[in-house]
Amino acid sequence: MFKIVKKKNLNASVKLMELEAPYIAAKAEAGQFVIVRASEESERIPFTIADYDRQKGTVTIIFQVIGGSTMELAALEEGGSILDLVGPLGIATEYGDVKTVAVVGGGVGCAIAYPQAKKLFGMGAEVDLIAGFRNKDILILEDEMRAASSELFICTDDGSYGTKGFVTNKLEELIASGRKYDLVIAIGPVMMMKFICEITKKYGIKTLVSLSPIMIDGTGMCGCCRVTVDGKTRYACVEGPDFDGHLVDFDELLRRNSAYKKQEQQHICRLTGGVR
């Protein structure tokens, strides 16, 4: 059992949980993930490690409540516990010798972009963090992202906060203005990452993306998380989740991620009795 040290609502549907897990916290690095199971009958859910504290022995996850399993997890309270927490899984992000980096996050993907920016900023890199949301109401981690970057650019689709427009527009604007990036890291919806990579490829900027395909066991055995990178099959859970964005077959990834869309729309939630 893993104690819930802290629980916080980041917006109406996004929750933060800090979990007591000293062995995982001792080895966790930016880019890695854990698999959570709330109770004996729960499904296994992969979550990127949003933060960790080696001294306190805790790891933090951030998740959006969108279905039965995340509803079950969200129903647990501070002081309670979850049944299983496996990790750290995946390969920690390898940055190389970089001086100036743009980290781009979209929506809940900002929960993954944040630890990347924090790590790079702590290494002494100049970090531009570009965070995109549909509107101001779903904004998360603003203070944390600002503290983990040289400059934070917030974009909203409707212009209710920050700059009106998409993160892709802001990134290209910064590049066109003379920003010289050694690396771009993009994390968010697949379509967002695809378009970010189209921009950076045009300018010859190395780009890493964090992929989150369908995943079950997290050890490479089930094969559900396979993605095509540079024409070869790769397994995101053990060979990723980070890959060279210019080599990823995003169209295939979009098709695979929507493979069970019809079944998901017809699924009856055990907790609410409604269609999820």
Confidence of residue 214 (pLDDT cuts 50, 70, 90): confident
Q: pTM of the entire structure?
A: 0.87
Does the domain at 100-257 match CATH 3.40.50.80? Answer given as yes
Q: From CA 77, how far away is CA 83, in angstroms rounded?
A: 13
Please state whether beta strands 151-156 and 163-164 pair in parallel, antiparallel, or not at all (unpaired). parallel
Does the pLDDT of residue 227 top 70, yes or no?
yes
pLDDT at position 266, please?
56
Q: Where in the chain is the domain with CATH 3.40.50.80?
A: 100-257
Pick the residue with more confidence: 93 or 270?
93
Q: At what angle do helices 190-203 and 250-257 cross, to 10 degrees?
A: 180
pLDDT at position 41, please?
81
**pLDDT tens by residue, 174-213:** 999 999 999 999 999 999 999 999 999 999 999 999 988 8
Q: Where in the chain is the domain with CATH 2.40.30.10?
A: 2-89
Pick the residue with more confidence: 236 or 195?
195
For tokens 């990178």, what's the residue?
229
> Which of 69-73, 138-142, 263-267 is the least confident region?
263-267
Position 274: which residue type? G
> Which of 27-41, 45-59, 216-230 is the least confident region?
216-230
Pick the residue with more confidence: 218 or 62?
62
pLDDT at position 256, please?
79
CA distances from 223 to 37, 128, 244 (A): 20, 35, 20
SS3 247: helix
Please state whether beta strands 207-210 and 183-187 pair in parallel, antiparallel, or not at all (unpaired). parallel
Burial label, 275 (beta-carbon count in 10 A; 0-12, 13-18, 19+): exposed
Q: How many CB atoms lie within 10 A of CB 10?
A: 19
Confidence of residue 42 (pLDDT cuts 50, 70, 90): confident
Confidence of residue 12 (pLDDT cuts 50, 70, 90): confident
The CATH code of the domain at 2-89 is: 2.40.30.10
Burial label, 47 (beta-carbon count in 10 A; 0-12, 13-18, 19+): buried
Q: Answer positive or negative: Cα dihedral of 44, 50, 53, 56.
A: negative
Instruction: Evaluate whether 64 touches 13 at the Cβ level (below 8 Å).
Output: yes
Report percent pLDDT > 90 for the chain.
62
Q: From CA 147, how far away is CA 151, in angstroms rounded?
A: 9
